[in-house]
Structure 1
Amino acid sequence: MFTLLSVLPAPPGGTPAELAQDGIDFFSTWIGRIGGIVAIVGALKFALAIKDDNDDGKMQAVLIMVSGFMIQSALNAGLLNIPATYTEAVATAEFRSILSFIGKWIRRVGALGFFVGALSFGFAVKDNNAVTKVTGLKTMAAGATAMALSAASVLTQFV
């Protein structure tokens, strides 16, 4: 006799904390794999865009690649190691460490944007191209803004 219970798998055994940890481990493994794929896709897109004169395509590819690296770094930093019980002090310390991590990567991406803008501006000066100069200056300003907004004093306002 065919029943619905014969189709469903047997439920996993263990305590709720073990089951929750298994779920966290499963998702962190797959999030890490997806982050690696995103980084590879960004690197390939950057490799294909390097021959073009379009800075927007290069910047988008670098941002995709950096987002994949950020996912990998978040997993390596242990941001998904969530204990079963939290006190308020531990939760605040964890939140501050996450904000510090986010601020550090925003500064890095901002510095990269500033660097790409400076290169674009430098090459535009050589070619005497006004549009590319303005684009380079805007990219530099965006990178500098990202670096300034990610300062520790700004991010600690949220705690």
Structure 2
Amino acid sequence: WALVAPQRPDWRLRLYGTGEDEAALKAQCTGLGLDGSVEWMGRTDDVEAALGGASVFVQSSRGEGFPLALLEAMASGVPCAAFDCAPGVREIVRDGEDGLLAPAGDTAALADRLLRLTGNPRLRDALGARARSGAQRFSEPEVGRRWEELFAFLER
């Protein structure tokens, strides 16, 4: 965010969640001069409302399995940028089609993806719409259908 905020002074980063690193992260935020552009939202049980107020979703984890938060954002039509840190992320986000991926751990590349999304409303709208439909690949009916296909194949 330190690479994005100076170029997008009208944007705000909302961070959801809590944890043992929260105090250190808040201190780092202050040290970087980002307090005016970062909002610490804490824990929420209303993911739908949090995503409903979002223009972009960022999955900045450096290690993930199959991140449900990313899938929830896409199902809500929120365009996403994420580190390409695991096969599960690659399975969910089709780079350039329904979201943007950056090489794992490359913060400059992730900032670039965020600048692209925050600076281009048409790109945000297009990726968000495709994300919503693409996330349906993981809907309960679709996953159930795929399991049934597998079982049918195994019975042959």
TM over 0.5: no
Larger radius of gyration: 1
Give me the TM-score of the superposition, normalised by structure 1. 0.28
TM-score (norm 2): 0.29
Name the one with the larger helix percent.
1
